[in-house]
Structure 1
């Protein structure tokens, strides 16, 4: 093991290496069905042949941090590792990269090529995070018997469709990923993107949205244009959306998710589809966001200690099917299912005077605020693609704004344990034909620091006083005695979500922003509340 490998083992708290030296073969040619050639690197412990293979298919290149993390670190722990560049990236043919377009056919071709290699022992596991996890789902249904297990990490079986609800785009993720993939093969790409961050951030304000990629890159980028013009319900995505095939997957699946990950809700959706199909999936959810090294560590552990034995025909050590990190008390717990049994829904009502309580209030006038898309309510913390600014952060500066309402409970006289699906019902009225509603749950500590736990934003077309249901991202959190529960209500969270301009213009081509007045009702006839699964 190299010095850097030893450092990584200590920093990431990895299982110990079993091989001292690793060799790598570069630029192996993998033929796709249509004649395109894909390029792959093969990592292996020196002197070892009959070992299972970890297959990684990535659009981010085969060298640098990814090759080192997935190639060297897994090879040092008893695997052949094949890292394949997806079509259109880093030497693989097929023209310009078109995200998600060819992953099933190219993945199947890669598995057939792998089976012909002289060092292949007949067993392979699928590993990787984010897009690399999507490439696993692309081939999982109907996978050949050589595939023994998969470890999808912070990912989804439909990937980009996660961010494309009708009339609502997760702009920060879309723009950041578009710029990264469009420029990643230029010299000094990471440095260029770091210095170009302000340009990318400014591009998120572009109107109409359809011109955002031109503002950031100087040209159209196919993935950005696909996403702006086609929401998740559009048949356009039928060949790239694998959610309907998840229940057909018969190989063992162990999903690694994060409470602040951009794919959390979708990853739990995939987990439930497997359970409903009678499969026995494993699930791990940690306190991390998308790019957190702790999630990478958990994924490598699961590959080595769970997928590795399965690939060798052995039985992994027993662990309960669901393992959750419970925030607030900072402890790992194991359960038989998600959501865990024994939790019941408890309503905490939004009350007059910015209060939050267990019973609805009497008649009071609604609380009003104005959302101005020309000065949009900023997004703070939460689920982000990049690590910078993601996760649990102090929300006090955000909560001081005039366009953010807060409703806060009395000090808790006992711990309150919340584990499961969190929802909200908010009665509102707006003076515009369209608006957004953002709801966030926070934990306020003894010093007054307000930390975000979970949230979500929905598009609304109000019809008079309208009841709006919001499914916040799930959580596992204990509000400690002496703390308070807080609910935020706002009309946006930019740049995480694209601005709602308050009009009936088509989302992609709208150009005129309108300030929107929203009234939140919280009386007995309109009992706005957050719904917490408590024990």
Structure 2
């Protein structure tokens, strides 16, 4: 049996704080109850631990249930946000600890059991006296648990709100020969230590961060988890040895089934989120299949409170209406926050229609509408013993994420900078950003990092979007880079800037230059990289821009 506290002063205070910080709609009633440590049987005889928050029956009779499945525990911030906050707004809430975490049976193997366990939870819920219709909600891994069951969801599941997540989650980071080290090692250490005394608060306060940062310098990579934890961690090792194309992940990759999902979906994303590109693809697949799908992208990174506010508001508004069988609030297919002018705009699709790629050519120190016919190549040396650092952009944690001033980074000798003249009119860029870079390197392997920045009138250079690709040069080689998508207006008087370098550590593991397996490489070798930008090899960034409207004659 669970416990039903009569009066929870700390919890009520937390609920009020969450409402104020996240701008939630007013509570229907503060008189909510909670049953803790309920036991849910799984298909294979294991037991999952859960909490059930119930709304005030007098104000919310026959309320639907928000199901939240999490590996991060059922107390603390998650309890306030997904338990109390939603119950106070008229929903039953079932928060379930994933297998092997916080009292649930078994071993936690990330992504491994979420489909079968999720369907077990829904079967159990259907047998409860309060088990009415269901909505699924949650962020990051909590969003992945939604996708794991979405294509096979029973009829009582009426809506889902995945936030900063995707149907294949960590596989987004596992491109062949490329390791997103900061996210992979940071999350591995966090999940490995979260159940130690004070684990969640230690993570929030950054206690132990220095040891993890030092471990990111470990060579070879295969030993970084041991350097951080004192022992190997299964998920870290799995990711190092099995890339996203490996059949090893077949059962964990739910992206092939996205088009089969018939549940209405409201996807909440952020321009600086680590899962942005995959989340946009999931949305496009849903729309191509004719599904009821909506997309919101804000100026947020992974742990930004603005994104959390958006998912909770959509949960108690749009998703709860679906689950109650009433007309949901109107939502456009696509709602985007356009950075630079800081305004929300609605569109019919992603990417929006009417934006066509405009080439901005790299020239020595310049970004130009046309290449210089006989421009000599520009070169730099990348030294993995003193790697080009990562700065801002998509990060798992809030600290240092998002747009930051890049001038210190751009002053380094291993970062090339290409800058336009001051703009004589606004340049609106919305959609997929790509780059074509011609390069030559003196090692069998190198990385290419390309970043787009907005330089204001004071010279401050803010990063907009970027990405890194692995290159195996064959003489002078043309390299395509898909930067993360964006919606941004470069204002009149600002300048457009492109950075080119060969690394961003520790966000990405260093390329040591020897061409061997990256997980076991141990000897750093400096690499000389040449960037070509003449008429025959016109390196450029392609910005999706809407043509100016012509004035009538």
Superposition map of 1:44-193 within 5 A: 44-47=54-57, 48-94=60-106, 96-121=107-132, 123-190=133-200, 192-193=202-203
User: How much has 1:207 moved relative to structure 2?
Assistant: 1.0
Give the gaps of 5 or more residues in structure 2.
1-10, 547-553
Match of 2:6 in 1: none
User: How much has 1:280 moved relative to structure 2?
Assistant: 2.9
Cα pair 1:49 1:119 within 8 Å, conserved: no
Q: TM-score, normalised by structure 1?
A: 0.98
User: How much has 1:273 moved relative to structure 2?
Assistant: 1.0
Match of 1:24 in 2: 34
Superposition map of 1:29-428 within 5 A: 29-47=39-57, 48-94=60-106, 96-121=107-132, 123-190=133-200, 192-193=202-203, 194-352=206-364, 354-428=365-439
User: How much has 1:504 moved relative to structure 2?
Assistant: 2.0
Q: Give the Cα separation in 2 of the matches to 1:196 and 1:13.
A: 32
Cα pair 2:429 2:487 within 8 Å, conserved: yes
Match of 1:477 in 2: 488
Cα pair 2:444 2:472 within 8 Å, conserved: yes
User: How much has 1:195 moved relative to structure 2?
Assistant: 3.0
Of the candidates 17, 25, 44, which is equivalent to residue 15 of structure 1? 25
Q: Give the Cα separation in 1 of the matches to 2:383 and 2:415.
A: 12
Match of 1:4 in 2: 14
Q: Give the Cα separation in 2 of the matches to 1:425 and 1:129.
A: 34
1:348-389 deviation per Cα after TM superposition (whole angstroms, max 9, x unaligned): 00012x000111111122100001111000000000000000
Cα pair 2:56 2:90 within 8 Å, conserved: no
215-224 vs 314-323, which moves further: 314-323
Match of 2:449 in 1: 438
User: How much has 1:191 moved relative to structure 2?
Assistant: 5.4
Q: Give the Cα separation in 2 of the matches to 1:188 and 1:2.
A: 22
Q: What secondary structure is seen at the aligned counterpart in 1 of 2:48?
A: strand
2:550 maps to 1:531: no
Q: What secondary structure is seen at the aligned counterpart in 2 of 1:175?
A: helix
Q: What secondary structure is seen at the aligned counterpart in 2 of 1:69?
A: helix
User: How much has 1:275 moved relative to structure 2?
Assistant: 1.4
What is the aligned length?
Answer: 532
Match of 1:509 in 2: 520
106-115 vs 504-513, which moves further: 504-513
User: How much has 1:494 moved relative to structure 2?
Assistant: 0.3
Q: What secondary structure is seen at the aligned counterpart in 2 of 1:156?
A: coil
Q: What secondary structure is seen at the aligned counterpart in 2 of 1:453?
A: strand
1:434-457 deviation per Cα after TM superposition (whole angstroms, max 9, x unaligned): 000000000000000000000000
Q: What secondary structure is seen at the aligned counterpart in 2 of 1:201?
A: helix
User: How much has 1:317 moved relative to structure 2?
Assistant: 2.1
User: How much has 1:154 moved relative to structure 2?
Assistant: 0.1
Give the gaps of 5 or more residues in structure 1.
none
Q: What secondary structure is seen at the aligned counterpart in 2 of 1:324?
A: strand
Match of 2:3 in 1: none
Q: Give the Cα separation in 2 of the matches to 1:438 and 1:341.
A: 28
Q: What secondary structure is seen at the aligned counterpart in 1 of 2:64?
A: strand
Q: TM-score, normalised by structure 2?
A: 0.95
1:31-83 deviation per Cα after TM superposition (whole angstroms, max 9, x unaligned): 01110000000001133451000000000000110111101111111100000
1:167-200 deviation per Cα after TM superposition (whole angstroms, max 9, x unaligned): 1011000011000000000002245552321110
Cα pair 2:69 2:142 within 8 Å, conserved: yes
Cα pair 2:262 2:292 within 8 Å, conserved: no
1:284-306 deviation per Cα after TM superposition (whole angstroms, max 9, x unaligned): 00000000011000001111110
Q: Give the Cα separation in 2 of the matches to 1:347 and 1:338.
A: 21
Q: Give the Cα separation in 1 of the matches to 2:486 and 2:335.
A: 13
Cα pair 2:64 2:324 within 8 Å, conserved: yes
Q: Give the Cα separation in 1 of the matches to 2:12 and 2:117.
A: 33
Root-mean-square deviation over aligned CA pairs: 1.0
Cα pair 2:40 2:48 within 8 Å, conserved: yes
Of the candidates 477, 484, 506, which is equivalent to residue 495 of structure 1? 506
User: How much has 1:3 moved relative to structure 2?
Assistant: 3.3
Q: What secondary structure is seen at the aligned counterpart in 2 of 1:7?
A: helix
